[in-house]
Amino acid sequence: MLSDSPLGGRFTGRQDFERLVREGLARAAREGWPEMIWSDATFEDWPLREREVVESLQAWARSGRRLTLLAARYDEVLRNQPRFVTWRRTWGHLVDCRRVSQVAPVDFPSALWSRHWFLHRLDLTRSTGSWGGDPASLTRTREMLDEKLHGSAPGFPTSVLGL
């Protein structure tokens, strides 16, 4: 169950995780967060296929904003998140997709971070973790993501050009 604490709390289960992703993206749009980092091995169980999520992203997208995605692979996104893929094509100039192949999917961080709020799934099997806006947790989450970003390479191009 989600906590009502303004600093955050713990969550348990996929429904709570998905609800927090939706709430975080709605808040990003409302508050105009300048930067977000999303991290997950495949993003397969993020609600990126939902109209509500893409509407929040559309409302968030403005010049000067930045979204960084970090994944082990993007094939699940391409296959199962068509609304997000379409949005990403339109707003590709705001989105930097990175790939890290040296980390096993089970050890890959699953998180959404901004300067104002974070969501960090600690146990992927049970979909449990923490969320909030306390400064110490924001810093820890960002440092963990920076470590993975340091060893990343470009991935998930906006379009694939062929002859």
Is 15 a member of any domain?
A: yes
On the question of pLDDT at 32 being above 50, the answer is yes
Evaluate whether 41 touches 160 at the Cβ level (below 8 Å).
no
For residue 163, what pLDDT is reported? 40
Query: How confident is residue 5, by pLDDT bands cut at 50, 70 and 90?
Result: low
On the question of pLDDT at 44 being above 70, the answer is yes
Is 134 a member of any domain?
A: yes
For residue 28, what pLDDT is reported? 97
Mean pLDDT of the 134-152 span: 95
Query: How confident is residue 161, by pLDDT bands cut at 50, 70 and 90?
Result: very low
On the question of pLDDT at 106 being above 90, the answer is no
* Full domain range(s) for residue 130: 11-154
Is 163 a member of any domain?
A: no
Q: How far apart are CA 156 and CA 72, in angstroms?
A: 11
Mean pLDDT of the 22-47 span: 97
Query: How confident is residue 12, by pLDDT bands cut at 50, 70 and 90?
Result: very high
On the question of pLDDT at 59 being above 50, the answer is yes
Is 34 a member of any domain?
A: yes
Is 160 a member of any domain?
A: no
Q: With residue 128 as reference, give the H or E element that holds it.
A: strand 128-132
Q: How far apart are CA 70 and CA 36, in angstroms?
A: 11
Is 94 a member of any domain?
A: yes
Is 161 a member of any domain?
A: no
Evaluate whether 68 touches 34 at the Cβ level (below 8 Å).
no
Q: How far apart are CA 127 and CA 41, in angstroms?
A: 14
Number of domains in the chain: 1
pTM (2 d.p.): 0.92
Is 6 a member of any domain?
A: no
For residue 159, what pLDDT is reported? 64
For residue 157, what pLDDT is reported? 79
CATH classification of the domain holding 105: 3.30.870.10
On the question of pLDDT at 1 being above 50, the answer is no
